[in-house]
A and B are shown apart, each in its own frame.
Chain A
Amino acid sequence: MSKDLTLEEPMGRVIVVTSGKGGVGKTTTSAAVGAELARRGHKTVVIDFDVGLRNLDMIMGCERRVVFDFINVIQGDAKLKQALIRDRRLENLAVLPTSQTRDKDALTKEGVEKVLEELRKEFDYIICDSPAGIERGAQMAMHFADEAIVVTNPEVSSVRDSDRVLGLLNSITERAGKTGAEPVKAQVLITRHDKARVDSGEMMTVEDVLEVLAVPLLGIIPESKAVLRASNLGVPVVLDDPSAAAAAYEDAVGRLIGEQIEMRIAADPRRGLLQRLFRRAV
Protein backbone atom coordinates (compact mmCIF):
# COMPACT_ATOMS: atom_id res chain seq x y z
CA MET A 1 0.00 0.00 0.00
CA SER A 2 1.38 3.39 -0.92
CA LYS A 3 1.23 6.31 1.42
CA ASP A 4 -0.94 9.26 0.53
CA LEU A 5 1.15 12.07 -0.79
CA THR A 6 -0.09 15.17 0.93
CA LEU A 7 1.43 18.60 1.04
CA GLU A 8 1.36 18.86 4.79
CA GLU A 9 3.63 16.80 6.99
CA PRO A 10 1.96 15.08 9.93
CA MET A 11 2.29 17.52 12.82
CA GLY A 12 2.28 16.79 16.51
CA ARG A 13 -0.28 18.40 18.80
CA VAL A 14 0.89 20.81 21.48
CA ILE A 15 -1.00 20.39 24.76
CA VAL A 16 -0.36 22.73 27.69
CA VAL A 17 -0.97 21.53 31.25
CA THR A 18 -1.77 24.66 33.23
CA SER A 19 -3.71 25.89 36.29
CA GLY A 20 -2.69 29.29 37.57
CA LYS A 21 -2.51 28.02 41.13
CA GLY A 22 0.52 26.06 42.31
CA GLY A 23 0.51 22.62 43.91
CA VAL A 24 -2.64 21.36 42.20
CA GLY A 25 -0.91 18.60 40.23
CA LYS A 26 0.35 20.06 36.94
CA THR A 27 3.64 18.16 36.89
CA THR A 28 2.07 14.94 38.17
CA THR A 29 -0.47 15.30 35.37
CA SER A 30 2.12 16.13 32.69
CA ALA A 31 4.16 13.06 33.64
CA ALA A 32 1.13 10.75 33.83
CA VAL A 33 -0.47 11.95 30.59
CA GLY A 34 2.86 11.84 28.74
CA ALA A 35 3.64 8.33 29.95
CA GLU A 36 0.16 7.02 29.16
CA LEU A 37 0.22 8.49 25.63
CA ALA A 38 3.64 6.88 25.06
CA ARG A 39 2.44 3.55 26.43
CA ARG A 40 -0.39 3.65 23.89
CA GLY A 41 2.22 3.93 21.16
CA HIS A 42 2.19 7.70 20.54
CA LYS A 43 5.54 9.44 20.31
CA THR A 44 5.40 11.92 23.18
CA VAL A 45 7.68 14.56 24.68
CA VAL A 46 7.06 16.41 27.95
CA ILE A 47 8.65 19.87 28.29
CA ASP A 48 9.34 21.63 31.58
CA PHE A 49 8.54 25.36 31.28
CA ASP A 50 9.25 26.15 34.93
CA VAL A 51 12.60 27.84 34.34
CA GLY A 52 14.63 28.12 37.54
CA LEU A 53 12.52 25.59 39.44
CA ARG A 54 13.10 22.42 37.48
CA ASN A 55 10.91 19.59 38.80
CA LEU A 56 9.58 17.52 35.94
CA ASP A 57 12.91 15.63 35.79
CA MET A 58 12.43 14.47 39.41
CA ILE A 59 8.83 13.41 38.86
CA MET A 60 9.87 11.47 35.74
CA GLY A 61 12.93 10.03 37.51
CA CYS A 62 15.56 11.28 35.05
CA GLU A 63 17.13 13.98 37.22
CA ARG A 64 20.55 12.33 37.15
CA ARG A 65 20.72 12.37 33.37
CA VAL A 66 20.18 16.07 32.66
CA VAL A 67 23.07 17.48 30.64
CA PHE A 68 21.61 20.16 28.38
CA ASP A 69 18.25 21.84 28.76
CA PHE A 70 15.49 23.75 26.96
CA ILE A 71 17.27 27.08 27.52
CA ASN A 72 20.56 25.74 26.09
CA VAL A 73 18.61 24.78 22.95
CA ILE A 74 16.86 28.17 22.71
CA GLN A 75 20.18 29.96 23.06
CA GLY A 76 21.88 27.74 20.51
CA ASP A 77 24.32 26.13 22.97
CA ALA A 78 23.00 22.64 22.33
CA LYS A 79 21.05 20.80 19.67
CA LEU A 80 17.53 19.66 20.50
CA LYS A 81 18.44 15.99 20.23
CA GLN A 82 21.24 16.46 22.76
CA ALA A 83 18.86 17.96 25.32
CA LEU A 84 16.07 15.39 24.90
CA ILE A 85 16.26 12.65 27.52
CA ARG A 86 14.83 9.37 26.26
CA ASP A 87 12.83 7.52 28.90
CA ARG A 88 14.33 4.17 29.88
CA ARG A 89 10.93 2.55 30.48
CA LEU A 90 9.04 3.65 27.37
CA GLU A 91 10.77 4.06 24.02
CA ASN A 92 8.15 6.54 22.76
CA LEU A 93 8.66 8.93 25.69
CA ALA A 94 11.14 11.79 26.01
CA VAL A 95 11.65 14.66 28.46
CA LEU A 96 12.97 18.13 27.66
CA PRO A 97 14.19 19.45 31.03
CA THR A 98 14.45 23.14 31.79
CA SER A 99 17.28 25.14 33.33
CA GLN A 100 17.66 25.22 37.10
CA THR A 101 19.84 28.33 37.06
CA ARG A 102 18.38 30.77 34.54
CA ASP A 103 15.23 32.82 34.87
CA LYS A 104 12.07 33.05 32.84
CA ASP A 105 13.38 35.87 30.64
CA ALA A 106 15.47 33.24 28.87
CA LEU A 107 12.23 31.96 27.30
CA THR A 108 11.75 33.99 24.13
CA LYS A 109 8.65 33.60 22.00
CA GLU A 110 10.76 33.01 18.88
CA GLY A 111 12.95 30.46 20.68
CA VAL A 112 9.98 28.54 22.07
CA GLU A 113 8.26 28.56 18.68
CA LYS A 114 11.34 27.21 16.92
CA VAL A 115 11.79 24.36 19.39
CA LEU A 116 8.08 23.45 19.25
CA GLU A 117 8.13 23.45 15.44
CA GLU A 118 11.04 21.04 15.47
CA LEU A 119 9.32 18.81 18.06
CA ARG A 120 6.06 18.78 16.08
CA LYS A 121 7.88 17.02 13.26
CA GLU A 122 9.16 14.19 15.43
CA PHE A 123 6.48 13.72 18.08
CA ASP A 124 2.74 13.04 17.99
CA TYR A 125 2.14 14.86 21.29
CA ILE A 126 4.09 17.68 22.91
CA ILE A 127 3.04 18.17 26.53
CA CYS A 128 4.00 21.58 27.96
CA ASP A 129 4.23 21.50 31.77
CA SER A 130 3.44 25.09 32.76
CA PRO A 131 4.80 26.81 35.86
CA ALA A 132 2.30 28.16 38.40
CA GLY A 133 1.17 31.73 38.02
CA ILE A 134 0.24 33.69 34.92
CA GLU A 135 3.57 35.40 34.27
CA ARG A 136 5.99 34.91 31.42
CA GLY A 137 6.73 31.21 31.96
CA ALA A 138 3.06 30.28 32.07
CA GLN A 139 2.28 32.49 29.08
CA MET A 140 5.09 30.93 27.04
CA ALA A 141 3.87 27.43 27.95
CA MET A 142 0.37 28.17 26.65
CA HIS A 143 1.21 30.47 23.75
CA PHE A 144 1.52 27.88 20.98
CA ALA A 145 -0.90 25.33 22.43
CA ASP A 146 -3.51 23.55 20.33
CA GLU A 147 -5.19 22.15 23.44
CA ALA A 148 -5.11 22.83 27.17
CA ILE A 149 -5.59 20.65 30.22
CA VAL A 150 -6.59 22.98 33.05
CA VAL A 151 -5.79 21.21 36.31
CA THR A 152 -8.22 22.20 39.05
CA ASN A 153 -8.76 21.14 42.65
CA PRO A 154 -12.35 21.39 43.95
CA GLU A 155 -11.35 24.33 46.11
CA VAL A 156 -12.24 28.02 45.76
CA SER A 157 -8.83 29.55 44.97
CA SER A 158 -7.95 26.84 42.46
CA VAL A 159 -11.26 27.21 40.60
CA ARG A 160 -10.91 30.97 40.52
CA ASP A 161 -7.36 30.72 39.12
CA SER A 162 -8.52 28.18 36.53
CA ASP A 163 -11.12 30.65 35.35
CA ARG A 164 -8.42 33.29 34.94
CA VAL A 165 -6.24 30.86 32.98
CA LEU A 166 -9.16 29.92 30.72
CA GLY A 167 -9.54 33.63 29.98
CA LEU A 168 -5.87 33.88 28.99
CA LEU A 169 -6.13 30.83 26.74
CA ASN A 170 -8.89 32.65 24.89
CA SER A 171 -7.06 35.96 24.63
CA ILE A 172 -3.26 35.86 24.56
CA THR A 173 -2.46 32.64 22.70
CA GLU A 174 -1.42 32.30 19.07
CA ARG A 175 -4.74 30.67 18.21
CA ALA A 176 -6.65 33.47 19.95
CA GLY A 177 -4.82 36.10 17.90
CA LYS A 178 -5.22 34.43 14.52
CA THR A 179 -8.45 35.18 12.71
CA GLY A 180 -10.16 32.06 11.48
CA ALA A 181 -8.12 29.75 13.73
CA GLU A 182 -9.91 27.28 15.99
CA PRO A 183 -9.60 28.47 19.60
CA VAL A 184 -7.45 26.46 22.01
CA LYS A 185 -9.45 23.38 22.99
CA ALA A 186 -9.53 23.63 26.79
CA GLN A 187 -10.69 20.88 29.12
CA VAL A 188 -10.74 20.72 32.91
CA LEU A 189 -9.06 17.91 34.82
CA ILE A 190 -10.25 17.79 38.41
CA THR A 191 -7.53 16.45 40.70
CA ARG A 192 -7.36 15.58 44.41
CA HIS A 193 -11.05 14.74 44.35
CA ASP A 194 -12.06 13.22 47.69
CA LYS A 195 -15.31 11.32 47.28
CA ALA A 196 -15.91 10.91 51.01
CA ARG A 197 -15.64 14.66 51.60
CA VAL A 198 -17.83 15.44 48.57
CA ASP A 199 -20.44 12.99 49.89
CA SER A 200 -20.42 14.67 53.28
CA GLY A 201 -20.77 18.11 51.71
CA GLU A 202 -17.30 19.33 52.73
CA MET A 203 -16.00 19.54 49.16
CA MET A 204 -17.54 21.00 46.02
CA THR A 205 -18.91 18.43 43.61
CA VAL A 206 -17.66 17.98 40.05
CA GLU A 207 -20.95 19.51 38.85
CA ASP A 208 -20.35 22.57 41.06
CA VAL A 209 -16.90 23.13 39.52
CA LEU A 210 -18.12 22.60 35.95
CA GLU A 211 -21.06 24.94 36.47
CA VAL A 212 -18.66 27.71 37.48
CA LEU A 213 -16.05 27.11 34.77
CA ALA A 214 -18.33 26.07 31.90
CA VAL A 215 -15.74 24.02 29.96
CA PRO A 216 -15.75 20.29 29.17
CA LEU A 217 -14.46 17.80 31.73
CA LEU A 218 -11.47 15.63 30.79
CA GLY A 219 -11.41 13.51 33.92
CA ILE A 220 -11.60 13.21 37.69
CA ILE A 221 -8.42 12.14 39.49
CA PRO A 222 -9.12 10.96 43.04
CA GLU A 223 -6.99 11.94 46.01
CA SER A 224 -4.64 8.98 46.21
CA LYS A 225 -1.63 7.83 48.17
CA ALA A 226 -0.26 6.50 44.91
CA VAL A 227 0.63 10.04 43.77
CA LEU A 228 3.11 10.73 46.59
CA ARG A 229 4.55 7.25 46.24
CA ALA A 230 5.10 7.75 42.50
CA SER A 231 6.74 11.11 43.15
CA ASN A 232 9.02 9.55 45.79
CA LEU A 233 10.11 6.91 43.30
CA GLY A 234 10.38 9.15 40.25
CA VAL A 235 7.86 7.10 38.30
CA PRO A 236 4.83 8.55 36.47
CA VAL A 237 1.83 7.32 38.46
CA VAL A 238 0.46 5.33 35.50
CA LEU A 239 3.68 3.27 35.35
CA ASP A 240 3.69 2.39 39.06
CA ASP A 241 1.50 -0.24 40.75
CA PRO A 242 -2.20 -0.08 39.82
CA SER A 243 -4.12 2.60 41.72
CA ALA A 244 -7.32 4.60 41.49
CA ALA A 245 -5.33 7.65 40.36
CA ALA A 246 -3.53 5.69 37.63
CA ALA A 247 -6.82 4.27 36.33
CA ALA A 248 -8.34 7.76 36.28
CA TYR A 249 -5.37 9.14 34.31
CA GLU A 250 -5.66 6.25 31.83
CA ASP A 251 -9.33 7.14 31.28
CA ALA A 252 -8.50 10.85 30.91
CA VAL A 253 -5.88 10.10 28.25
CA GLY A 254 -8.37 7.90 26.41
CA ARG A 255 -10.79 10.85 26.30
CA LEU A 256 -7.96 13.21 25.29
CA ILE A 257 -7.36 11.18 22.14
CA GLY A 258 -11.04 10.96 21.34
CA GLU A 259 -12.27 7.75 22.96
CA GLN A 260 -15.74 7.72 24.51
CA ILE A 261 -15.16 6.69 28.11
CA GLU A 262 -17.84 7.06 30.73
CA MET A 263 -16.91 9.45 33.54
CA ARG A 264 -16.43 7.67 36.85
CA ILE A 265 -15.49 8.84 40.30
CA ALA A 266 -12.95 6.51 41.83
CA ALA A 267 -11.32 6.39 45.23
CA ASP A 268 -8.60 4.34 46.87
CA PRO A 269 -10.04 1.36 48.72
CA ARG A 270 -10.44 1.97 52.43
CA ARG A 271 -8.34 -0.22 54.67
CA GLY A 272 -10.11 -2.77 56.82
CA LEU A 273 -9.77 -2.69 60.59
CA LEU A 274 -7.26 -5.54 60.67
CA GLN A 275 -5.16 -3.98 57.93
CA ARG A 276 -5.12 -0.68 59.73
CA LEU A 277 -4.18 -2.35 63.01
CA PHE A 278 -1.23 -4.12 61.44
CA ARG A 279 -0.39 -1.34 58.97
CA ARG A 280 0.00 -3.67 56.07
CA ALA A 281 0.27 -2.22 52.65
CA VAL A 282 -2.92 -2.69 50.64
Chain B
Amino acid sequence: MFGFSLRPRKAASANTAKERLQILLAHERSGAAARPDCLPQLQREILDVIRRHMQIGDEAIDIRMERGDELSSLEINIEFPGKLGVN
Protein backbone atom coordinates (compact mmCIF):
# COMPACT_ATOMS: atom_id res chain seq x y z
CA MET B 1 0.00 0.00 0.00
CA PHE B 2 1.12 3.50 -0.90
CA GLY B 3 4.15 1.95 -2.51
CA PHE B 4 5.68 0.96 0.83
CA SER B 5 7.13 -2.48 1.21
CA LEU B 6 8.29 -4.44 4.23
CA ARG B 7 10.90 -6.39 2.38
CA PRO B 8 14.32 -4.81 2.68
CA ARG B 9 15.45 -2.79 -0.30
CA LYS B 10 18.09 -4.35 -2.46
CA ALA B 11 21.51 -3.51 -1.03
CA ALA B 12 22.71 -0.38 -2.79
CA SER B 13 25.39 -1.06 -5.40
CA ALA B 14 27.36 1.98 -4.21
CA ASN B 15 28.28 0.09 -1.02
CA THR B 16 29.66 -2.75 -3.07
CA ALA B 17 31.68 -0.27 -5.13
CA LYS B 18 33.20 1.26 -2.00
CA GLU B 19 34.07 -2.11 -0.47
CA ARG B 20 35.71 -3.34 -3.68
CA LEU B 21 37.79 -0.17 -3.91
CA GLN B 22 38.89 -0.37 -0.28
CA ILE B 23 40.12 -3.94 -0.69
CA LEU B 24 41.90 -3.22 -3.97
CA LEU B 25 43.50 0.05 -2.90
CA ALA B 26 44.68 -1.40 0.41
CA HIS B 27 46.55 -3.95 -1.63
CA GLU B 28 47.88 -1.47 -4.19
CA ARG B 29 49.17 0.91 -1.52
CA SER B 30 50.92 -1.88 0.34
CA GLY B 31 54.32 -3.15 -0.74
CA ALA B 32 52.82 -6.07 -2.64
CA ALA B 33 51.79 -4.06 -5.65
CA ALA B 34 54.79 -1.74 -5.52
CA ARG B 35 57.07 -4.61 -6.52
CA PRO B 36 55.63 -5.82 -9.79
CA ASP B 37 58.38 -8.36 -10.38
CA CYS B 38 57.78 -10.19 -7.16
CA LEU B 39 55.55 -12.88 -8.67
CA PRO B 40 57.59 -13.69 -11.79
CA GLN B 41 60.64 -13.86 -9.54
CA LEU B 42 58.81 -16.08 -7.05
CA GLN B 43 57.84 -18.32 -9.93
CA ARG B 44 61.40 -18.58 -11.22
CA GLU B 45 62.74 -19.35 -7.76
CA ILE B 46 60.14 -22.03 -7.12
CA LEU B 47 60.97 -23.65 -10.47
CA ASP B 48 64.69 -23.51 -9.67
CA VAL B 49 64.24 -25.19 -6.31
CA ILE B 50 62.07 -27.94 -7.76
CA ARG B 51 64.48 -28.51 -10.64
CA ARG B 52 67.21 -29.34 -8.19
CA HIS B 53 65.21 -32.46 -7.46
CA MET B 54 63.00 -33.14 -10.44
CA GLN B 55 62.73 -32.47 -14.14
CA ILE B 56 59.87 -30.14 -15.00
CA GLY B 57 59.16 -27.83 -17.92
CA ASP B 58 58.77 -24.05 -17.90
CA GLU B 59 55.02 -24.33 -18.39
CA ALA B 60 54.53 -26.74 -15.52
CA ILE B 61 53.77 -24.03 -13.00
CA ASP B 62 50.48 -22.22 -12.52
CA ILE B 63 50.02 -19.48 -9.93
CA ARG B 64 46.55 -18.22 -9.01
CA MET B 65 45.64 -15.58 -6.51
CA GLU B 66 42.46 -14.52 -4.75
CA ARG B 67 42.58 -11.35 -2.71
CA GLY B 68 40.20 -10.75 0.15
CA ASP B 69 39.91 -7.99 2.74
CA GLU B 70 40.93 -10.25 5.63
CA LEU B 71 42.83 -12.95 3.84
CA SER B 72 44.42 -13.53 0.46
CA SER B 73 45.37 -16.87 -0.94
CA LEU B 74 48.07 -17.87 -3.36
CA GLU B 75 47.55 -21.17 -5.11
CA ILE B 76 50.54 -22.75 -6.79
CA ASN B 77 50.04 -25.79 -8.97
CA ILE B 78 52.97 -27.67 -10.38
CA GLU B 79 52.42 -30.38 -12.96
CA PHE B 80 54.80 -33.28 -13.17
CA PRO B 81 55.15 -35.60 -16.11
CA GLY B 82 53.38 -38.98 -15.72
CA LYS B 83 56.05 -40.36 -13.44
CA LEU B 84 57.97 -38.27 -10.93
CA GLY B 85 61.28 -37.68 -12.62
CA VAL B 86 63.48 -37.70 -9.52
CA ASN B 87 67.15 -37.14 -10.37
Contacts and interface: CB of A to CB of B under 8 A. Distances in A.
Interface centre among B28, B39, B62, B67 (most CB of A within 10 A): B39
B40 A277 contact: no
A72 B24 contact: no
Interface residues of A, number: 29
A65 B66 contact: yes
B3 A274 contact: yes
Given A79-B59, A277-B3, A101 B13 contact: no
B30 to A, nearest CB: 13
A234 B3 contact: no
Contact of A232 (B9, B17, B43): B17
Interface string A261-282: 0000000000000110110110
Interface string B32-58: 011011011001000000000000001
A232 B61 CA distance: 34
A274 B4 CA distance: 10
Contacts of A72: 39-40
B13 A78 contact: no
Contacts of A277: 3
Interface string A204-248: 000000000000000000000000110111100000000000000
B6 to A, nearest CB: 13
Interface in A81-106: 81-82, 99-102
A174 interface: no
A143 to B, nearest CB: 24
B5 A280 contact: yes
A249 to B, nearest CB: 18
Contacts of A65: 64-67
A157 to B, nearest CB: 27
B63 interface: yes
A67 B24 contact: no
Contacts of B66: 64-65
A102 B20 CA distance: 23
28 contacts: A63-B24, A64-B24, A64-B66, A64-B67, A64-B68, A65-B66, A67-B63, A68-B40, A72-B39, A72-B40, A77-B40, A78-B40, A79-B59, A82-B62, A101-B33, A101-B34, A102-B36, A232-B13, A232-B17, A233-B13, A233-B16, A274-B2, A275-B3, A277-B3, A278-B2, A278-B3, A280-B3, A281-B9
Q: When A and B form their complex, which 10 residue pairs have the shortest distance between CB atoms, in order from nearest?
A: A77-B40, A232-B17, A232-B13, A64-B67, A278-B3, A101-B36, A67-B65, A229-B13, A274-B3, A233-B13
Given A81-B62, A275-B3, 14 more contacts: A58-B24, A64-B66, A65-B66, A67-B63, A101-B36, A102-B36, A231-B17, A232-B13, A233-B17, A234-B20, A277-B3, A278-B4, A280-B5, A280-B9
